[in-house]
Amino acid sequence: MRRNAFLYAVFIATVMLWISVAPLAAGEEKSTSSESYQLEEITVIGTRIERPEVDSPMAVGSVGTDQIQLGRQQNSLGESLLTIPGLVIQSQYNYAQDLRISIRGFGARASFGIRGIKIFTDGIPNTLPDGQSNVDDLDLGSTQRMEVIRGPSSSLHGPAAGGVINIVTEDGPRHPFVEGRSTFGSYDFQKYQIKGGGQDKNLNYLGNFSHLSYTGYRDHSVTRNSLLNSKFRYDFDASSDLTVVFNVLDTPEAQDPGALNEREVQDDRRQAAPRALSFDAGEMVNQHKLGLVYRNSITETRQLSLRSYYVGREFDNFLPFDVNSNGQGGSVDLDRRFFGGGGDYTFAGQLFGRINKLVVGVEIDAQRDERTRFSNDFGERGPLTTNQNEDVTGYGAYLQDEFHVRDDLRLTLGLRYDVLDYDVEDKVGDGSGSRTFEQPSPMVGLLWKIGPSVNLYGNVSTSFEPPTTTELANPLAATGFNQSLEAQTATNYEVGIKGLLPAKSRYEVALFHIDLEDELVPFELAGSGQTFYENAGESTRNGLEASLVIQPLAGLTTTLTYTYSDFTFDKFRDVNGNVFDGNKTPGVPDNQFYADVSYFHPTGFYASANILYAGSFFANNANTVKIDSHTVANFRLGYIHETGGWEISPFVGFNNIFNEKYNDNIRINASFGRYFEPAPEFNAYGGITVRYNFGL
């Protein structure tokens, strides 16, 4: 421990020395550092009303192309999203479980995938009507920008207790290009990409194909997948266009090493859980997506946007048991269709002689699942145990209005009404039934522009979050929905301050208090081998999120973020009669700090160092299992060489450079003490990007 503390101190000292000498290394750039200039304003579109990030009456952050792509391993979203406070990211290395993201604690309960957060890519939802999100089809190699809205956002996008992640992929440049990228790393990491795009008269196009092969840090972690992502935009004229998104994912193998108990971690942190090996735990996925978005600026003050989409997903999953105590088999075969559409109309004009902008819209989304389950005969499909169709249909209507009370005071009002219908048809038993969840979600926000560099805001927002079809699994029977499980509701009270400073800096501080009722909490029945859900009576979440971005000279950027979380159960008696009143909510550290220093020299050299400290937290409702804090540091550097139309960029990166022993994921309320999924120790990667730009 002392050795690690010393190494961290050396790392931080090196970073600070780097900051102090960078102006000398910049040479001709040094003179510009004394000038008074600001960071570029960032415009966000995920808030329904397009506006600068600092002018939004809610906590909003974003990351750009260089933070996502340049010199990155492109292993997961977590590589770049950590620059935004309020986010806790786990399971970056278990492709069978998918990435887990939580915002203000929402999503920490997910046993797999992402919960409580609405995710969109180019206007097309990655989130099902029942609230479950998958990002295994997200193409980081062509992602241009990611925007994150933190806090209950149901008035904007429907059930979204934690917030919204809005992803925008690249457009093709004016001059066509073709680009190849190869990356190699520890644990047999290999990723190959080929990308191209451009503009041909009225047609803008971009496509990227990638293939990943990864043996993994732990045993039984082999992953192979191929991904094609493409976007085409046709401009009918200067005011209207149609964007077509086409995406195909093929994951023939994603093994799940499972979770270990404390003794197993001490014996061999790289081993797979014995049952994961015995039952060949893992998944196979094949998915295709087609989306269309039409935009028309009818006049300077009126805009229309329409979207429609279709997603087909075939999913095979082997869980680490044969048949659980409720008769549910450990082999899942899911055939999913996910489709829908919607539209919104924006009107900007005058109201009572003041500037006003109004957005109204409707959405209809449908999810059709054909789910069969079989016994898992040690990695082979056995007899049928479950055969049911699960249908979810969501209807939403919303409006949002931004009214300029004065030149320096803006009032935002939002209201959305959602209805979600769940139906299950049990083909082998008597578990057929239906559930309906519906609720309005209002919000009110106020932004006061006190001065050129100070924006003070406050908002009250609400959300409701119904269970997913998976969370509705009946803990008392092999089929049907859990009829006793209710939607959780949340009310968020938030105040904050943010702005751009003359010294080329951006800052943000947000304080929030959230009251939850019927919080959805996971638990495992002993011997079941499966996660089920129950409602906690009342919960409270208090927190602080702060970020500071400083650019003392062109090319040098320092990012600092801090998150404080105090989340507790106020009233909670679980299914076994245990009382957890006053206990901490598991899965979220009390304190999290992140620092990043990046430098880009005019000659093409770039380097970036970052460090993450995550405080301790509990792994179970009883607060008897505490996960130690950890600190992880990473470093990457590269060089961009341009000659003629060619651009050649080698890069290398080093992850966990001080060899910290920590966990990639903690399984909340796991049975038999199997909470831990160890993260990789020190590892490295390297690669090269070669690009040719036509017409230059």
Distance CA 145, CA 166 (A): 8
Structural domain contains residue 694: no
pLDDT at 106: 87
**pLDDT band for position 453 (cuts 50, 70, 90):** confident
Helix (H) or strand (E) holding 11: helix 2-25
Average pLDDT of 612-635? 95
3-state helix, strand, coil in the chain (%, to 5): 10, 60, 30
Strand blocks (E) in 299-432: 302-323, 329-351, 354-377, 380-406, 409-426
Three-class SS of residue 49? coil
Say if residues 419 and 436 touch (Cβ distance below 8 Å).
Answer: yes
Structural domain contains residue 513: yes
Task: Return the closest-CA partner of residue 576 out of 540, 624, 622.
Answer: 622
Strand blocks (E) in 427-574: 433-451, 454-465, 488-501, 505-524, 531-553, 556-571
What does the pLDDT look like over 458-502, one tens digit per residue? 999 988 888 888 888 777 776 778 888 888 899 999 999 999 887
Average pLDDT of 262-272? 96
Residue spans of alpha helices (H) in 427-525 = none
pLDDT of 2 > 50? The answer is no
pLDDT of 22 > 70? The answer is no
Report, in angstroms and rounded to the nearest whole number, the Rg of the chain calculated over CA atoms.
25
When mean pLDDT is compared across 10-14, 341-345, 627-631, the lowest value belongs to: 10-14
Task: Return the closest-CA partner of residue 128 out of 388, 370, 313, 296.
Answer: 313
Q: Report how many domains make up the chain.
A: 1
When mean pLDDT is compared across 176-180, 209-213, 425-429, the lowest value belongs to: 425-429
pLDDT of 131 > 60? The answer is yes
Regarding predicted confidence, which is higher, 80 or 219? 219
Average pLDDT of 315-333? 87
Percent of the chain with pLDDT over 90: 67
When mean pLDDT is compared across 23-27, 520-524, 570-574, the lowest value belongs to: 23-27
Distance CA 355, CA 96 (A): 50
When mean pLDDT is compared across 100-104, 196-200, 477-481, 670-674, the lowest value belongs to: 477-481
**pLDDT band for position 693 (cuts 50, 70, 90):** very high
CA angle 395-397-399, nearest 5°? 160
Average pLDDT of 433-452? 90
**pLDDT band for position 3 (cuts 50, 70, 90):** very low
Biggest alpha carbon–alpha carbon distance for the chain: 77
Which CATH number fits the domain that encloses residue 227? 2.40.170.20
Side-chain half-sphere exposure of 654, counting CA atoms within 13 A? 12
Distance CA 555, CA 363 (A): 43
Distance CA 165, CA 48 (A): 13
Sorted by sequence, the CB contacts under 8 Å of residue 284 that are 6+ apart come out as 251, 252, 253, 254, 315, 316, 317
pLDDT at 529: 58
pLDDT of 6 > 70? The answer is no
Structural domain contains residue 539: yes
Task: Return the closest-CA partner of residue 379 out of 453, 317, 290.
Answer: 317
pLDDT at 55: 83
Q: pTM for the complete prediction?
A: 0.90
pLDDT of 88 > 50? The answer is yes
User: Which residues partner with 388 through β-bridges?
Assistant: 371, 426
Regarding predicted confidence, which is higher, 543 or 19? 543
pLDDT at 192: 97
- Give buried/exposed letters for 363-381 (b at 16+ CB in 10 A, else e): bebbbebbbbbbbbeeeeb
pLDDT of 34 > 80? The answer is no
**pLDDT band for position 29 (cuts 50, 70, 90):** very low
Structural domain contains residue 555: yes
Arithmetic mean of pLDDT over the chain: 88
pLDDT at 47: 57
What does the pLDDT look like over 156-210, one tens digit per residue? 788 878 889 999 999 999 999 999 999 999 999 999 999 999 999 999 999 999 9
When mean pLDDT is compared across 298-302, 482-486, 536-540, 634-638, the lowest value belongs to: 482-486
379-386 contacts: CB < 8 A, separation 24 or more? Answer: 379/278, 379/279, 379/280, 379/318, 381/331, 381/333, 382/322, 382/329, 382/331, 383/329, 384/329, 384/428, 385/323, 385/327, 385/328, 385/329, 385/478, 386/328, 386/329, 386/428, 386/478, 386/479
pLDDT of 77 > 90? The answer is no
Percent of the chain with pLDDT over 70: 91
Average pLDDT of 81-104? 90
- Give buried/exposed letters for 242-259 (b at 16+ CB in 10 A, else e): ebbbebbbebeebbbbbb
**pLDDT band for position 402 (cuts 50, 70, 90):** very high
Total Cβ atoms within 10 A of residue 435: 20
Average pLDDT of 390-399? 94
Tokens encoding 667: 């399984």
- The amino acid at 330: G
Task: Return the closest-CA partner of residue 84 out of 105, 65, 59, 106.
Answer: 59
pLDDT at 526: 60
Sorted by sequence, the CB contacts under 8 Å of residue 564 that are 6+ apart come out as 543, 544, 545, 590, 591
pLDDT at 1: 44
Classify strands 163-169 and 117-121 as parallel, antiparallel or unpaired.
Answer: parallel
Distance CA 261, CA 358 (A): 54
Structural domain contains residue 37: yes
pLDDT of 335 > 80? The answer is yes
pLDDT of 9 > 60? The answer is no
First-residue to last-residue Cα distance in the chain: 54
Say if residues 418 and 442 touch (Cβ distance below 8 Å).
Answer: no
Three-class SS of residue 584? strand
Sorted by sequence, the CB contacts under 8 Å of residue 454 that are 6+ apart come out as 497, 499
Residue spans of alpha helices (H) in 463-614 = none
Structural domain contains residue 184: yes
pLDDT of 35 > 60? The answer is no
Distance CA 365, CA 125 (A): 10
- Give buried/exposed letters for 397-427 (b at 16+ CB in 10 A, else e): bbbbbbbbeeeeebbbbbbbbbebbbebebe
Structural domain contains residue 647: no
pLDDT at 17: 43
Tokens encoding 592: 């999290």
Three-class SS of residue 619? coil
Distance CA 343, CA 293 (A): 9
Say if residues 274 and 267 touch (Cβ distance below 8 Å).
Answer: no
pLDDT at 525: 66
Say if residues 310 and 317 touch (Cβ distance below 8 Å).
Answer: no
pLDDT of 28 > 70? The answer is no
pLDDT at 494: 95
Structural domain contains residue 606: yes
Domain of 370? 2-634+669-679
